Structure 1
Amino acid sequence: MEVFDVDSHLREWENDVKFCVMVGKMREKFNKYWGDFMNLNMYTYFALILDPYIKMQSVRNGIEILMSYDQKPEIMNDEFDCMVDDKKGLNEKAFGDLYAQYKAREGERSRIPSKKLVNEVAPSQSKAVNDFLFGREGGSYKVATELEKYLNEPREELHPGFDILLWWKLNGPRFPTLAKTTKDILAL
């Protein structure tokens, strides 16, 4: 989030005669690491997704802000929304793939999401119990993965002193694979 704040200040000060030379050098350095969102390291996006008060919802907002600075006004329409959604989709897929790799390392199922047919009767479950639990119509239900559970939970409230490492330490037992992923990504 601080990156957006720095970018905002640089944009504000670029046109100020007193600061334009200094800001030009700062902008050059900033752009080297953060300026081109299309070439921004995916792990930067992953770190945002793993931040419990940002998650995936704010990643789209950030992508939209970064893209809007460089777009011509005539592109700011449905085409622009498609570009933003495409970039967000690439991030989601890449993060899902990373999550799957971590799950595979643990020896658990690595594909997301997993599905089970409702009308299949488990060996220890009678047809009557299956009908009671899931109805006679049959169909399927989706088993939520750890990643889906994390992303679907409400975001944490933003407050001073929030400690992401402490949050993951306390919530690691609920999300063990994501906690391991977070540990590795935040160490970068």
Structure 2
Amino acid sequence: MAHIINLIVWDGINEHSVCIARVRNAVKYVKNSPARLQRFKDLVQKLNINCKLSLSLDVPTRWNSTYLMLETALKYQRVFGGFNLPDGDNVPPNELPPNADDWKMVGRLVVFLEGFYLITRRISGSLYVTSNKGFFEIASVCDMLKKWEKNPEKEFKNMAISMKTKYNKYWGDVKKMNMMIYMAVVLDPHSKLTVLELTLTDLYDKEKGEELASNVKIFAYSLFDEYRAMYSYPQSGPINNDQHQDQEDVRLGETMNYVQSLKERAKRLKGSGGNMRSEFERYLNEVLGEDEEGLDALTWWRLNAHRYPIVSRMARDILAIPLSLCCIGIAFSAGVDISIHLGVL
């Protein structure tokens, strides 16, 4: 997932190579000389710029470093404007000092890249559950690109269109996604099927969104049946064979009175297959209390596992799946093929 976001962002960054190169050259010019760096710091104080960040030069193969370089340089825009940067007819266009249009473009680019930067950091986390957030991160990327496609500035509109093309290549056909991406959402007590269906409807049209949500629901119940078969007691298993059902009814009639037979049959329906099926339905239909809204998914399941013994086992297995197995640095790298490092769902 981090790898796909990486590819999408690079398609966008390449649309703004000139303004990025000019800022990079300006930062390099200042940092390459201790004397120039000191003059730069003196000018920062003279202009009363309240920023303690140091200028950073990016690694061209890691777009996060490019984002951080642009973000920091933007804070010192007035300083660069008053600094004597190389200029003239002999200077290549990409190495000219950034002009007002360049800075304006960089400002918009920083806003644009910030969303992808935060998403990549979130999905690369290792100290919290990520699988239940994966689908929403995919949806948020789509939402960002849709908004920027409507941008009145041609440069950013073209950039969003280019990135959306790459997005569609990997995530455009939601039917091809691994169902576990959706199951992690369903097993998040704050989301479940309702939020999933709303998100699918936002991503696509209402008809397609409802169809996909229905497919997820069918898969979810099917998966629940598998877990029920693995973890329920043999006597509590589902009774689907009509002949076996009839034989059981006869046995009950022979050994107990009619009323007791009815009670046992009702208990079997509610306490075995019917109840085990309703366990998942109860989970899906239960509304969180106010005191539960602030609980993370794992804490909620720790407190409620005894109420949903089978569904909690599903949650234990599926929520444990990380979106990414790579370190945060590799997640941003375009210099190597990082797909082998990723645990992409």
TM-score by structure 1 length?
0.67
Could you say which residue in structure 2 is the equivalent of 1:144? 275
Q: What residue identity is the alignment partner of 2:302?
A: K
For residue 32 of structure 2, what is the aligned residue in structure 1? none
CA contact (8 A) 1:37 1:67 kept: no
Contact 2:149-2:156 at 8 Å conserved across structures: yes
CA RMSD of aligned residues (A): 3.8
Aligned residues: 169
Q: Report the secondary structure of 2:180's partner residue.
A: helix
Cα distance in 2 for partners of 1:185, 1:174 equals 18
Q: 1:184 aligns with which of 298, 314, 317?
A: 317
Select 1:65's aligned residue among 196, 202, 206.
Answer: 202
Aligned equivalent of 2:304: 171
Name which of 173, 177, 184 aligns with 1:36.
173
CA distance in structure 2 between the partners assigned to 1:30 and 1:156 by the alignment: 37
Secondary structure of the 2:301 match is helix
Give the whole-Å Cα distance in 2 for the aligned partners of 1:151 and 1:67. 23
**SS in structure 1 of the partner of residue 150 of structure 2:** coil
Whether the aligned pair in 2 keeps the contact of 1:102 and 1:177 (CA below 8 Å) is yes
Higher strand share: 1
Match of 2:228 in 1: 103
Per the TM alignment, residue 111 of structure 1 is displaced from its structure 2 partner at its CA by 4.6
Identity rate, percent: 30
Question: Any gaps of 5 or more consecutive residues in structure 2?
Answer: 1-135, 322-345
8 Å CA contact 1:37, 1:66 repeated in 2: no
Q: Which has the higher helix share?
A: 2
Q: Aligned equivalents of 2:180 and 2:261: distance in 1?
A: 43
Shift of 1:49: 1.0
| 1:53–1:156 Cα contact (<8 Å) kept | no
Q: Do the aligned partners of residues 160 and 28 (structure 1) sit closer, same or farther apart at CA in structure 2, a change above 3 Å counting?
A: farther
Separation in 2 of the partners of 1:35 and 1:157? 36
Deviation at 1:13, TM superposition (A): 0.9
SS in 2 for 1:174: coil
- Highest CA radius of gyration, 1 or 2? 2
Rate the CA distance shift 1:105–1:128 in 2: closer, same or farther, 3 A: closer
Mapped pair 1:93 → 2:218: yes
Q: Is the 8 A contact 1:172 1:179 kept in 2?
A: yes
How far off its partner does 1:24 sit?
A: 4.1
Q: Secondary structure at the match of 1:19?
A: helix
Q: Give the AA of the match of 2:305.
A: G
Asked if residue 56 in structure 1 is aligned to residue 181 in structure 2, the reply is: no
* Aligned-residue offset at 1:11: 0.7
* TM-score, length of structure 2 as denominator length: 0.40
| Aligned equivalents of 2:189, 2:216: Cα separation in 1 | 17
8 Å CA contact retained: 1:103, 1:110? yes
1:3 and 1:156 map into 2 onto residues whose CA distance is 28
Return the letter of the residue paired with 1:11: K
Distance 1:101-1:128 versus aligned 2 partners, 3 A rule: closer
Instruction: Using the TM superposition, give the Cα deviation of residue 144 of structure 1 relative to its aligned residue in structure 2, in angstroms.
Output: 3.2
Please give the alpha-carbon distance, in whole angstroms, between the structure 2 residues aligned to 1:11 and 1:172.
Answer: 39
Aligned to 1:71: none
How far residue 50 of structure 1 moved from its aligned partner, in angstroms, is: 0.8
Residues 147, 159 of structure 1: alpha-carbon distance in 2 compared, 3 angstrom cutoff: closer
| Pairing partner for 1:153 from 262, 276, 286 | 286
Cα 1:159–1:28 change in 2 (3 A) is: farther
Over 3 Å counting, the alpha-carbon distance change for 1:126 and 1:53 in structure 2 is farther
